[in-house]
Amino acid sequence: MQKVRTRIAPSPTGSPHIGTAYAALFNYVFAKKNKGDFILRIEDTDRTRFVETSEKEITEALSWLGLEADESPEKGGKSGPYRQSERLEIYQKLAAELITKDQAYYCDCSAERLAKVREEQQARGEVPRYDRKCREEPPKNKENCVVRLAIPLNGETTFFDEIRGEIKFQNKDIDDQVLLKSDGFPTYHLASVVDDHLMEISHVIRAEEWLSSTPKHVLLYDSFGWEKPKFAHLPLLRNLDKSKISKRKNPVAVSFYREQGYLAEALVNFLSLMGWSMPEDKEIFTLKEMIEEFTFARIDPAGPVFDLVKLDWLNGHYIRELSDENLADRLVNEGFVEKTKKEETKRYLPLVKERMKKLSEFESLAAYYLNDEVDIQTEELIKISDHSKEETSEILEKIRQSLAPLEDWTQESIEELLNKEQTETGWDKTKLFQSIRYSVSGTKTTPPLGETLEAIGKNRVLTRLEVAVKKLTQ
């Protein structure tokens, strides 16, 4: 039996797209499930959209996600080179072969003529396509020609999609596709089929948007007389409003998710839920577990919705599962905390971990532990205390004075003392505690007050209360 070999073939046009990560995940999982190889091929034949740094970013994104390719431009392998721009001669030779076999033909129609034909067809309400002039009257001069595939004029092209079943296209609806451009560069169709064949790709697993290209590819395989791979078209990722995922409504760069502090394993888990499901609808699972359970049959082709609320929820879960040591390492490695602050960070993690949905939130959640000063507004403080300016400053001063001699600076002793003060003064407990909380942390939500004060430390608490009182009496 043929060895399972899958690939992703991104075009290096910028920062890698989340759709590339999605395709990579399913290709990786299917390959590993079948003890096969997963290949990274760079489709860099469109020189106008080429971005120099993109290939490196793609490799880094795969490595961050734990979806390392077995063969790639960087690693090499038996089917290289893995950059299409380094394979031009192969495409040119094979395109010439198709011409000899009468499966393809030269075309010298100018851009102006093609535009005119298109306009006329549109005016007649027809689907615009090449009118096959050069198929009937071959150009005399082969210089500066493109090469087009001679699509059969009648009949239909069918193929089996592993997710969608049998798919049928009428040949009369398929355009005589350009295979080789006049500058000698192949189009996506030629390069992709040639490479999938020569790289012995057994399964082409790619996004739904390529479904309409597949009949052209099937006809190309037939023209060459090559065996076809199996095809699977993954469902299109959608925005919340069900439209195709787009930058305008959803961040689409993998780097965005990393910079925001999503954990790679959470993002992978989230992407695996896009159209695929685990038996018993288990929502949280590892890549290894997905590999164990993977079948195409569990993919629902109806477009899955890319829901960031769900991703946040999953990410929060993964953050809480990490040990403090591990989480501190992640914060340092991903650039959210300076290396020298790792130990200090570890101390505060138990206090903020519960509320952290992304690594990027650590800084704001822990600001009152990490920084010397906090920012408070007197108006806000008065609103929280629900007492006059004078009464508020008096009570905070009283609290400061009673905390000052406390030697056993622990959550229990602090709480005991604060409760005693509250009973004595007769203040509403919520209002009093919130006023203290805001004065010493600059926020209205923190873990329980005693715990917060203990972690902030005695000196800082006393200073912050003093600052609050001063601000109120100014």
Query: Do residues 338 and 332 touch, judged by C-beta distance below 8 A?
Result: yes
What does R_g of the chain's alpha carbons equal in angstroms?
31
Segment interacting with ligand GLU (CB under 6 A) among 5-13, 176-184, 331-339, 399-407: 5-13
Of all residues in this chain, which one has the CB nearest to ligand GLU in the complex? 206
239: its two tokens: 């925005």
What single-letter DSSP state applies at residue 149? Answer: E
Applying CB under 6 A, the site for ligand GLU has a residue count of 7
What single-letter DSSP state applies at residue 183? Answer: T
Q: Is 446 a residue that touches ligand GLU (CB under 6 A)?
A: no
| Rounded Cα distance, 96 and 470, in Å | 86
- Which of residues 192 and 439 has its CB atom nearest to ligand GLU in the complex? 192
- Is 247 one of the annotated active-site residues of the chain? yes
- Which of residues 167 and 382 has its CB atom nearest to ligand GLU in the complex? 167
Which one among 4, 9, 273, 299 touches ligand GLU, defined by CB under 6 A?
A: 9
Q: Is 296 a residue that touches ligand GLU (CB under 6 A)?
A: no
Residues in the chain: 474
What is each CA distance from 341 to 187, 221, 319, 354, in whole angstroms?
A: 52, 58, 19, 20
> What is the arrangement of strands in the sheet containing 104-107, beginning at the earlier edge strand?
104-107, 146-149, 178-180
311: its two tokens: 């991703």
Segment interacting with ligand GLU (CB under 6 A) among 6-14, 287-295, 343-351, 415-423: 6-14
Q: How far is the CB of 221 from ligand GLU (least distance, A)?
A: 13
Is the bond preceding 81 in cis, omega lying within 30 degrees of 0? Answer: yes
Q: How far is the CB of 232 from ligand GLU (least distance, A)?
A: 11
> Of residues 242, 247, 282, 444, which has the active-site annotation?
247
By C-alpha distance, which of 359, 361, 308, 363 is closest to 334?
359
Q: Pattern of binders to ligand GLU over 168-207, x per CB under 6 A?
A: ------------------------x-------------x-
Q: How far is the CB of 155 from ligand GLU (least distance, A)?
A: 24
DSSP 3-state of 120: helix
- Which of residues 10 and 261 has its CB atom nearest to ligand GLU in the complex? 10
> What is the arrangement of strands in the sheet containing 165-170, beginning at the earlier edge strand?
165-170, 156-161, 230-234, 203-207
Q: Is 210 a residue that touches ligand GLU (CB under 6 A)?
A: yes
Residues 32-51 that bind ligand GLU (CB under 6 A): 43
Q: How far is the CB of 27 from ligand GLU (least distance, A)?
A: 9
Residues found near ligand GLU in the complex (CB under 6 A): 9-11, 43, 192, 206, 210
Catalytic residues: 247
